[in-house]
Amino acid sequence: MSSVLPRVTPRRALPEELPALRLSAAHRARAHMLASLLLDYPDAGWFARLRDLRTHASALPDAIAEPLTSFVDQAEAAGEAEWQRRYVVTFDLKRKCSLYLSYYATGDTRRRGVALVTFLEAYRAAGWEFAADDLPDYLPAVLEFSARADSEIAGALLASHREGIEVLRAALEGMSSPWALVVRTITQSLPPIDAATRERYLNLVNEGPPTETVGLSFLGQLPPFRPVSQEAS
């Protein structure tokens, strides 16, 4: 009987729920900007900024500063080529490690297009325009928006995709990935999750994003996106 494969398996439990930190608006903005920059692709320019980013991180409360400075230390020790390899293996090859927030709720389905338009409308409603080489739900860009925009819309945008951020954190922590250090600081800067969000999160942890792939041809017609920049008046 020991060779028989199980027909049912236990549902995965939620990882540790992190306590929310009481941060000032200035500290939250700094933490989100640092996370935005550190989650970007680690090219030569990224490595050139690390010393300055460590200095800025050190000015934050210890609960935020320590994981960010530890991440920087690990990146510098690994070196550019190795860190780039790890980045690609982590974020480009694993479904539950996507940096595109709407992917967690919609996957590669027809609903993804509507979700992306919602991000663009949120930026514009706050008086900002999006000029980028990426899609508008790219987490580093959303964090930059949160850091730079004096608008409740930025917080609402992150809160509405909290499940995706938590799934990303759970996946990275499960891999003992250094990028988990950065994502942990994001989740700790956000309000505690409620019971409904926790249940949706658990479903995503166990099932993953939807996988339907039809109806997405128009995505290639979207203009390129990347950093958030304020609209000219």
Per-residue pLDDT of the chain (233 residues; tens, 9 = 90+): 444 445 444 444 445 566 667 889 999 999 999 999 999 999 999 999 999 999 999 999 999 999 999 999 999 999 999 999 999 999 987 778 999 998 887 766 567 788 888 888 889 888 888 887 789 999 999 999 999 988 888 888 888 888 889 889 999 999 999 999 999 999 999 877 666 655 654 555 445 554 443 333 333 333 333 444 444 33
CA distance 176 to 34: 21
CA distance 9 to 176: 23
- All residues at 6 or more sequence positions from 153 whose CB lies less than 8 Å from its CB, including other chains: 122, 125, 126
Q: Residues 18-35, buried b or exposed e (16+ Cβ, 10 A)?
A: beebebeeebbbbbbbbb
Neighbours of 192 (CB within 10 A): 12
Q: Residues 170-189, buried b or exposed e (16+ Cβ, 10 A)?
A: bbbbeeebbbbbbbbbbbbb
